[in-house]
Amino acid sequence: MGASRRVHAVLWDVDGTLAETERDGHRVAFNLAFEDLGLPWRWEPARYGELLHVTGGRERLLHDMVSRSDAPALAGEREALAQALHVRKNQRYAELVRSARLPLRDGVLALMHECRERGVRMAVATTTSRSNLAVLLQVHLGAGWNRWFDALVCGEDVQRKKPDPEVYLRALQALALSPLQTVAIEDSPGGVRAARAAHVPVVVTRSAYFADATIEGAVAIGPGLHDRRGWRPALAASADAATPVGLDDLESWCAQMDSVSQFG
């Protein structure tokens, strides 16, 4: 695969990338919040997939209300309802994560451990809330989960959500690194656009809702960090079929990106 280029930091997206939280976590929590507030609404998996094109839970609720005849007529009332639903949904999401132990995607924890062992810094660049991030990672990394990361940029830290690059620009500023010293791991077209607009190279691990989405500008696209098969560009074969995608693979993909000047 050619020479590698040193990666100084890995920037993690959360929903769909660290865990399949959208279909089995957030969607379910929204439906429970609807019930809690006495609303007859329900988001089926296919409908929620459509709504994922709108970034942000509160924004998603407001977008959905436009098509509902039983939603409040006045904009201020819709805002208030969306805010109340979102607060309740986050409470329900925390309950779901703690009780069901929504798993991290296979290969994620292995790459995190490798980063720590090799002195590669990590950051989170997400437009989900800090409370949602905390409950997920506390379950899997323990009470000191935040010490695994040198920067945490969440939805409440930015004015504009993905696909705007603000979340990545803030993460780079906090790390004091240039974009090409880092690599982002994302699952969605909007996340890729956000990283690219900040000139950060992106590796895409396809998630349930974006398994067939058109992705442009990623340095690599594949099924997940747990599987060396099915990646473009292809990964070198390993003697152990269970060997996950690692830092050497990320660095090699970034070196190939350099060779074609994909990010200028």
13 classed as catalytic: yes
Who contacts 257 (Cβ-Cβ below 8 Å, separation ≥6)? Answer: 201, 219, 263
Whether omega before 233 lies within 30 degrees of 0, making that bond cis, reads: yes
CA distances from 247 to 129, 185, 256 (A): 28, 12, 14
Query: Max Cα separation, the chain?
Result: 62
Q: Which helix (H) or strand (E) holds 186?
A: strand 182-186
Residues 163 and 181: their CA atoms lie apart, in Å, by: 21
Return the ∠ at Cα 122 (arms to 240 and 26), rounded to 5°: 90
Q: Would you call 240 a catalytic residue per the annotation?
A: no
Distance, CA of 32 to CA of 78 (rounded, Å): 19
- Look at the chain and count its residues: 264
Q: Which of 15, 164, 187, 249 is catalytic?
A: 15
Question: What is d(CA 149, CA 170) in angstroms, rounded to the nearest whole number?
Answer: 14
Residues 6+ apart with CB under 8 A from 83: 58
Catalytic member of 13, 64, 164, 187: 13
Phi then psi for 253, rounded to 5 degrees?
A: -60, -40
What is the set of active-site residues?
13, 15
